[in-house]
Structure 1
Amino acid sequence: MAQNRKVEFLDSIHVSPPPGSVPTTSFPLTFLDMQWFFVGNVERLFFYQFPHPTSYFMENTLPTLKHSLSLALQNFFPYAANIMCPQQPGKPCIHYTDGDFVTFTIAESAADFNHVVANYPRDIKLLHPFVPQLPPSRVAEDGTRVLPVLAIQVTVFPDSGVCIGSTYNHIVGDGKSFMHFMSCWAASLNNSNSGDLTCLEHSPPSISRDVIKVSADMELRFLQSYWNWVSLFDKNSGPSHGTDTVEDKVRATFVLGRAHAERLKQLVSKDVESGQLHISTFVVACAFFWVCFIKSKESATKDSSHDHDDEVYAFAFPFDGRNRLESQVPATYFGNCLKPCLAKVKKSEIRGENGIVLAAKAIGNKIKEVESRGLRGAEHWFADHSEIDKRLCITTIAGSPKLKVYEIDFGWGRPCKVEMAHIDRDGGALALAECRDEQGGIEVGLALNKNHMDEFITVFEQNLKLISFE
């Protein structure tokens, strides 16, 4: 069998919804979906304790894992579908035909499971063998480019653990949609042996795109950007989503505990008038890690110059619009319902002693603004994004504590670690999740070059001590 960095590939199969369970279906992409044509795929890895040999997994676990995935895809069939990308004047859509499938790969790893799931810095390439590869795009006879949506890889670490790795195209749905799918897959596995599949009926996804209202003019603006993307894709044989080298990078996970988060809320509250700003754990945690990231990067690059104190730092994060937009979007909406947000702080402010408070105010004010504006101004999102790269030093986040990734239980207990592997392609990305071991805490994954990681650890520990001071 093929070998790849201590991984042996055992099998690769196609998993579809049950035959005849889903009719041929096509539905258009909304402008909220189309903005993700310009972003790379999402790679999320779920690691579980699994004290059994590979033979046990293949004989006892794999059959039910495949069967439950098929049942889950019956409800979440867009993940087995394809994204159809016609040239101008065609409109992109998601198209499902009976027999469409998810690529499902089974592998075995000789790596040390405890080292793989550790929080301390490890080589960035350590996780790469557990990330499934999406099948390549293809071009149909009419010139339409066809993009697969989801690939799954299950890697067994004999007698120690198992990893369920996923790579999916963000165009089909956001993190909330994907975690809804994972929850139903896990629930169907836990109940398939008993024949009780009501878990798939309690919270079905809302597939209809009709709830996303948009003017004809705005749709045309987004379609024009999409057509430009298709043209560039064909010229370049694929989109480019970042070329940041991973050769010298390491990955580590940091935890901001509940007590520290509450302390940060107190510090920010002292500087904000009552009721003026919603100070959440998300806001203060993002501010804390943003400041740590900026200060450690400057230290690592030996940039102590004060000549550019008016330089602007930006923090980009997604805002979930379900039940917060002008039109009512159900909580179970399947698709993308994220609005990009950008908080800005001057360099002189963010690296000052009050930097965390000012960063929290900037993020909190942006959230308040988005809540009041809804989707107004969406026609400028692409133009704003192009200016971001030119003018600003930007830090981005992936994931959210609200996704509750540590609640996905396939019958082996809660995950012992969840990673977002794709952040290693971005030099300024933070992967956020809820803390596995402490309610109210935040867990952040980072992929940095070794020098920057060393400095980040130092700054992180220093700032923890500062906010612990009473």
Structure 2
Amino acid sequence: MTPSTKITVVERCQISPPPRSVPAPATLPLTFFDIPWLLFSPSQPLFFYDFPAATTATHFTQTLLPNLKLTLSLTLKHFFPLAGKLVTPPSPLFSDPHLLYTEDDSILLTIAEAAEGVDFKNLAGDHRKMARDFHSLVPVLRSGVLAVQITVFPESGICMGFTLRHVAADWRTFDNFLKAWASLSKNGEILEVAFNDRSVIKDPSGLTSSFLKEWWQIKGTQKQESIEANCRPTYDMIRATFVLGPKEMEKIKKWILTQSEMLFGSAQLLLSPYVIACAFLWVCWMKTHWCTNEDYDDQNVHYFGFIAGGLTRLRYTVPSNYVGNCVRFGRASATRNELLGENGIVYAAKAIEDTINKLNEDMLGGAKNWISEWELLRESELHVAVTGSPKLDLYGLDFGWGRPVKFEEVSIDTTGAISLCESGEVIGGIEIGVALPRSKMDDFSILFNKGLIQYSVGNDLFYCE
């Protein structure tokens, strides 16, 4: 479907680290944390900035773009893997997949201008919007692992869009890169130099070779293309943003703890804001998709997928400025009967917290099954996953023209995931990005708001009849 937000490309340029600033060629092996991301489609984050001073794209290219180009180049000196490319040989007889940076490599930076009449404030709002309106704001990733597009909305604002293959970097690394670029652009300095030594990741159990073997098998059966696409139709997809504030989460927490004591005894759940938000979303998603489905088995197991950081969970030290992946997959499970019942959110919260506790005890427990479990999870309709993290402070990304007024993760249109980040307006709140067909969005919105009412007044409005 043709994107409905019309843009005109004004300039395309290739941005590399400064000449001879990085020893090249540089080959970076994939660690066992990186390899599972070979199976995933790229992230597509957008940052909207209210910036009326950007009168036209021509004005932007003359006044602001030179500094952005220079500071992007200087930032890539430290994050040079993001300027490289992913090499995937045709067979293991040649070599294993790896990241390669040469002096000829670069990031494609595209400057575009939105057509007259395109409503910036509409795109940057929390209300419902057509998903396809955002697609033209996402840069095309023709090669490499990262592409950037800056779209100017004359006399309104700026949208900075990215396409990132996470095989090169997790969200922590990408956030470090963005903050470094923003700091250089605004203040002329990078606060923390990146750490690019992949040998810091230890692999005593041989997970790397095991994962590579599985990946070659998937690639050999020609499932890779379909896995990477991982598409669902987007022609009628609606996007909307929901916010859970601290007050709402505290009411949900008290309700869960009260019911939990009756169901599970005196063992207390700790219930971080992340667990509360995920449990609430899981139940909303379940009731949206399964309340009206009469043809089901109450004992079917449903899964909730999320990403768990490894820096604080590994039994050795990995620097916080490490460039690469240091996250693992978490998968909570509960039966349909539990999740759709009156105490669904209690079972959801316990399942998620139990999974997190297991990861805290042993970050790499069951790691040998990561790829097989996630391939099974993503091919099943009985799951939902969240992407992103409320801990990254994405709304603190200031290039010199203020904080973003809106964050959107476009990839959820096709992956079916739910995006999470910190709220840009509610201190301590969590912002939730959802993309659903129109009819499902109607149901989800009603259930989300009905659930908030339930936990405020303590009745069973949220029960799936």
Whether TM exceeds 0.5 here: the answer is yes
In structure 1, the residue matched to 2:462 is none
Amino acid in structure 2 at the alignment position of 1:203: E
Cα separation, 1, equivalents of 2:88 and 2:379: 28
Q: Mark the CA change 1:48 to 1:227 in structure 2 (over 3 Å): closer, same or farther.
A: same
Q: Mark the CA change 1:13 to 1:232 in structure 2 (over 3 Å): closer, same or farther.
A: farther
Cα-to-partner distance string for 1:182-202 (whole Å, 9 max, x where unaligned): 00000000123xxxx2xx2x3
In structure 2, the residue matched to 1:181 is 177
In structure 2, the residue matched to 1:253 is 241
In structure 1, the residue matched to 2:125 is 118
Cα-to-partner distance string for 1:149-174 (whole Å, 9 max, x where unaligned): 11000000000000000001110010
- Aligned-pair CA distance for 1:59: 1.3
User: In the alignment, which of 271, 274, 278 is matched to residue 282 of structure 1?
Assistant: 274
Give the conservation status (yes or no) of the 8 Å contact 1:314–1:392: no
- Aligned-pair CA distance for 1:236: 7.5
Cα separation, 1, equivalents of 2:224 and 2:4: 28
Give the conservation status (yes or no) of the 8 Å contact 1:320–1:337: yes
In structure 2, the residue matched to 1:267 is 255
In structure 1, the residue matched to 2:80 is 77
- Aligned-pair CA distance for 1:213: 1.1
50-59 vs 396-405, greater mean Cα deviation: 50-59
Q: Mark the CA change 1:395 to 1:60 in structure 2 (over 3 Å): closer, same or farther.
A: same
Pairs within 5 Å for 1:3-82: 5-24=5-24, 25-52=26-53, 53-54=55-56, 55-82=58-85
Give the conservation status (yes or no) of the 8 Å contact 2:4–2:133: no
350-359 vs 389-398, greater mean Cα deviation: 389-398
- Aligned-pair CA distance for 1:327: 2.3
Pairs within 5 Å for 1:381-420: 381-389=370-378, 393-420=382-409
Cα-to-partner distance string for 1:17-70 (whole Å, 9 max, x where unaligned): 111111112121101100101100110000001102113312111111111111
Q: Mark the CA change 1:5 to 1:259 in structure 2 (over 3 Å): closer, same or farther.
A: closer
Cα separation, 1, equivalents of 2:154 and 2:12: 19
Cα separation, 2, equivalents of 1:371 and 1:338: 12
Cα separation, 1, equivalents of 2:129 and 2:208: 44
Cα separation, 2, equivalents of 1:97 and 1:265: 51
Give the conservation status (yes or no) of the 8 Å contact 1:85–1:230: no
Taking only the aligned residue pairs, the percentage that are identical comes to 37
Cα-to-partner distance string for 1:52-106 (whole Å, 9 max, x where unaligned): 2113312111111111111111111111011122221422221111232100000
Cα separation, 1, equivalents of 2:350 and 2:220: 41
User: In the alignment, which of 88, 93, 101 is matched to residue 92 of structure 2?
Assistant: 88
Cα separation, 1, equivalents of 2:101 and 2:370: 30
Indicate whether 1:367 and 2:356 are aligned.
yes
- Aligned-pair CA distance for 1:381: 1.5
Amino acid in structure 1 at the alignment position of 2:187: N
Amino acid in structure 2 at the alignment position of 1:386: E
Amino acid in structure 1 at the alignment position of 2:173: S
Give the conservation status (yes or no) of the 8 Å contact 2:50–2:157: yes
Cα separation, 1, equivalents of 2:224 and 2:287: 37
Amino acid in structure 1 at the alignment position of 2:271: I
Give the conservation status (yes or no) of the 8 Å contact 1:316–1:395: yes
Amino acid in structure 2 at the alignment position of 1:169: R
In structure 2, the residue matched to 1:130 is 137
Cα separation, 1, equivalents of 2:197 and 2:437: 43
- Aligned-pair CA distance for 1:323: 2.5
In structure 1, the residue matched to 2:303 is 314
Q: Mark the CA change 1:275 to 1:39 in structure 2 (over 3 Å): closer, same or farther.
A: same
Amino acid in structure 2 at the alignment position of 1:292: C
Amino acid in structure 2 at the alignment position of 1:433: C
Cα separation, 1, equivalents of 2:227 and 2:398: 35
3-state SS, counterpart of residue 321 of structure 2: coil
- Aligned-pair CA distance for 1:229: 4.4
Structure 2 unmatched runs, 5+: 459-465
Cα separation, 2, equivalents of 1:238 and 1:315: 22
Cα-to-partner distance string for 1:361-413 (whole Å, 9 max, x where unaligned): 11011000111012132112222223335666000111110121111011111
User: In the alignment, which of 397, 400, 423 is matched to residue 435 of structure 1?
Assistant: 423
Cα separation, 2, equivalents of 1:372 and 1:260: 30
Cα separation, 2, equivalents of 1:392 and 1:248: 19
3-state SS, counterpart of residue 32 of structure 1: coil
Cα separation, 2, equivalents of 1:282 and 1:237: 33
Cα separation, 2, equivalents of 1:346 and 1:387: 17
Give the conservation status (yes or no) of the 8 Å contact 1:105–1:153: yes
- Aligned-pair CA distance for 1:358: 1.4
Indicate whether 1:354 and 2:343 are aligned.
yes
Cα separation, 1, equivalents of 2:305 and 2:49: 31
Cα separation, 2, equivalents of 1:239 and 1:133: 19
3-state SS, counterpart of residue 252 of structure 2: helix
- Aligned-pair CA distance for 1:180: 0.5
Normalised TM-score (structure 2):
0.91
3-state SS, counterpart of residue 64 of structure 2: helix
Pairs within 5 Å for 1:229-240: 229-231=218-220, 240=228
Cα separation, 2, equivalents of 1:210 and 1:56: 45
Amino acid in structure 1 at the alignment position of 2:123: V
Normalised TM-score (structure 1):
0.90
3-state SS, counterpart of residue 205 of structure 1: coil
